[in-house]
């Protein structure tokens, strides 16, 4: 595939790459075929050179999960498919940055993350986790709540993304016992021990994110440790109240965070909804100004130049790059599809009987009238019906009853063909489950 941009990718136009990781690539893309009706989005696809069956299956598992979910605090996924052997999912494009970029920008600018922003982010993520954990009977667990997977929009939105490590009843790629998935610094103790994750696992990792936002420091400083020592620290953490690093944190908030950080799941906050309600109570006491407007203030303060630059880039793509590309590169011709078998041919088995003894054919020639060059009409025989032209074969008058019989016969043949393609069909006694 060409490396130049923009380029076609199925029904999308890939505009530029955004990121590349171990499993796939992410692109800014456009959807729409009429000038002025394009919608910018994000395409995530499996790397073709690394698309082994295991990774492809995990990618498809993610698509199965996210296509079922719909929530204001989730990055919306609206399409999934395959183009030239490459699997992809299409997601909404959030105008903003992930929490890791926000953190790094604040460090460079020596700008502290306001407590209202920290609390609002945690409460919104807890709100969407309560939805995810309780969705249907999927028993869905995200398993990777970390700053790179939490988006902050310039408009104040907080959105959770990336279900590549999620566990649910839909997934075909089952995690092997003892296998550890996730980022080491944001693992719950049970994850680090290779145990099965549940909703309380997501609560714990969200509490780590909140602790770090409140204090401006890493909760588990394992970056300088060897893997064995780091994993031991994750498996047996010693919880510390946020106020040990940020003295201005109120005791009420300390209590909520420490309960969510309990190493023992039985002692931990038992659900995301319980965590959300506890945060709401604390917010009412210590940070009543907590709302999306505080997120907007922070994002505009630290990304003012970036916001204008990105807006100009989007306008450039929509007003110049995409229209010029579509004018210079015509749309590819639609692929030819194998035409369906004519109903007359399908009906031949039951609706047309040629007998040498009596000379009758139950499917007579169909006559239709077409205008000639001189403006007059002439009869044109159906070329597929050669029986009327065979010597010794007398056409039988076509009637409504015979036409209905042919249609019914054709439908029976089609139903039999469909049953053969689909395999065994349930009996009426079985019904649908």
The predicted-structure confidence for 123-154, as pLDDT tens digits, reads as follows 999 999 999 999 888 788 998 999 999 999 99
Type and span of the H or E element at 360: strand 360-361
End-to-end CA distance of the chain: 44
Structure tokens at 296: 């907007």
Closest Cα to residue 141, out of 119, 170, 115, 114? Answer: 170
147 in Cβ contact with 321 (< 8 Å): no
Percent of the chain with pLDDT over 70: 69
Name every residue whose Cβ is closer than 8 Å to that of residue 2 and which is 6 or more positions away in sequence: none
| pLDDT on residue 422 | 56
Domains of the chain: 1-93 (3.30.200.20), 95-302 (1.10.510.10), 343-420 (no CATH)
pLDDT tens column, 6-27: 999 999 999 999 988 766 789 9
Question: Average pLDDT in the 250-277 region?
Answer: 97
Question: Binning pLDDT at 50, 70 and 90, where does residue 60 land?
Answer: confident
Average pLDDT, the chain: 79
pLDDT in tens, 71-129: 999 998 889 888 888 888 899 999 999 999 999 999 999 999 999 999 999 999 999 99
pLDDT at 316: 94
User: How far is CA 87 from each of CA 58, 62, 169, 363, rounded to the nearest angstrom?
Assistant: 11, 11, 21, 48
Contact between residue 350 and residue 415 where contact means Cβ atoms under 8 Å apart: no
Instruction: Report the catalytic residues.
Output: 144
For residue 408, what is the enclosing H or E element?
A: helix 400-422
Looking at residue 215, what is its pLDDT? 95
Query: What number is the average pLDDT over the span 225-229?
Result: 83
The answer to whether residue 395 scores a pLDDT higher than 70 is no
pLDDT at 290: 93
| Strand partners of residue 306 | none
Instruction: Determine what percent of the chain is predicted with pLDDT higher than 90.
Output: 48
Distance CA 415, CA 421 (A): 10
pLDDT-derived band at 66 (thresholds 50, 70, 90) equals: confident
Residues 344-347: contacts with CB within 8 Å, 24+ apart?
344/384, 344/385, 344/406, 344/410, 345/384, 346/409, 346/410, 346/413, 346/414, 347/406, 347/407, 347/409, 347/410, 347/413
What is the DSSP annotation of 156-192?
Answer: S-EEE---TT-B-TT-SSPPPTT---S-GGG--HHHH
8 A C-beta contact, residue 24 and residue 45? yes
Q: Return the top range by mean pLDDT from 1-5, 413-417, 429-433.
A: 1-5
Is residue 93 a contact partner of residue 180, using CB atoms and an 8 Å limit?
no
C-alpha gyration radius of the chain: 32
For residues 71 and 261, what is the distance between their CA atoms, to the nearest angstrom? 26
Determine the pLDDT at residue 321: 92
d(CA 304, CA 316): 19
Q: Which distant-in-sequence residues (6+ apart) come within 8 Å of 197 by Cβ? A: 141, 143, 167, 188, 190, 191
pLDDT at 299: 97
> Does the pLDDT value for residue 318 go beyond 80?
yes
What pLDDT, on the 0 to 100 scale, is given for residue 175?
A: 45
Residue 139 burial class via C-beta count within 10 angstroms: exposed 0-12, middle 13-18, buried 19 and up: middle
């Amino acid at each position: 595939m060409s490396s130049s941009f923009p380029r076609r990718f199925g029904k999308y136009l890939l505009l530029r790459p955004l990121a590349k990781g171990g499993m796939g690539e992410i692109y800014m893309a456009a959807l729409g075929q009429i000038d002025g009706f394009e919608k910018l989005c994000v395409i995530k696809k499996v790397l073709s050179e690394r698309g082994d069956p295991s990774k492809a299956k995990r990618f498809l598992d993610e698509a199965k999960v996210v296509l079922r979910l719909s929530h204001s605090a989730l990055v919306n996924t609206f399409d999934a498919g395959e183009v030239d052997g490459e699997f992809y999912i299409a997601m909404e494009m959030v105008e903003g940055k992930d929490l890791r970029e926000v953190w790094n920008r604040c460090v460079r600018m020596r700008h502290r993350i306001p407590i209202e922003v920290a609390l609002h982010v945690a409460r919104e993520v807890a709100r969407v986790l309560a939805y995810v954990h309780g969705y249907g009977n999927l028993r869905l667990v995200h398993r990777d709540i970390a700053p790179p997977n939490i988006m902050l929009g310039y408009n104040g939105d907080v959105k959770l993304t990336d279900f590549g490590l999620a566990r649910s009843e839909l997934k075909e790629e089952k995690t092997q016992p003892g296998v550890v998935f996730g980022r080491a610094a944001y693992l719950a103790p049970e994850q680090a021990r290779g145990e099965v994750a549940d909703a309380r696992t997501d609560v714990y990792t969200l509490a780590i994110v909140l602790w770090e936002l409140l204090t401006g420091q890493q909760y588990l400083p394992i970056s300088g440790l060897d893997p064995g020592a780091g994993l031991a620290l994750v498996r047996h953490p010693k919880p510390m109240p946020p106020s040990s690093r940020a003295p201005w944190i109120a005791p009420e908030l300390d209590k909520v965070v420490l309960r969510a950080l309990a190493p023992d799941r039985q002692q931990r906050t038992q659900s995301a909804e319980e965590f959300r309600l506890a945060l709401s109570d604390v917010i009412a006491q210590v940070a009543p100004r907590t709302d999306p407007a505080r997120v907007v203030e922070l994002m505009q303060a630290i990304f003012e130049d970036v916001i204008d630059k990105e807006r100009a880039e989007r306008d450039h793509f929509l007003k110049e790059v995409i229209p010029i590309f579509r004018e210079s590169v015509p749309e590819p011709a639609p692929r030819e599809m194998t035409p369906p078998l004519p109903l007359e041919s399908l009906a031949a088995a039951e609706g047309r009987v040629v007998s040498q003894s009596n000379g009758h054919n139950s499917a007579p020639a169909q006559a239709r009238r077409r205008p000639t060059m001189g403006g007059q009409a002439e009869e044109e025989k159906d070329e597929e019906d050669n029986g009327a032209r065979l010597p010794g074969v007398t056409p039988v008058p076509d009637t409504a009853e015979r036409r209905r019989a042919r249609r019914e016969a054709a439908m029976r043949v089609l139903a039999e063909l469909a049953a053969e393609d689909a395999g065994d069909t349930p009996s009426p006694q079985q019904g649908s489950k």
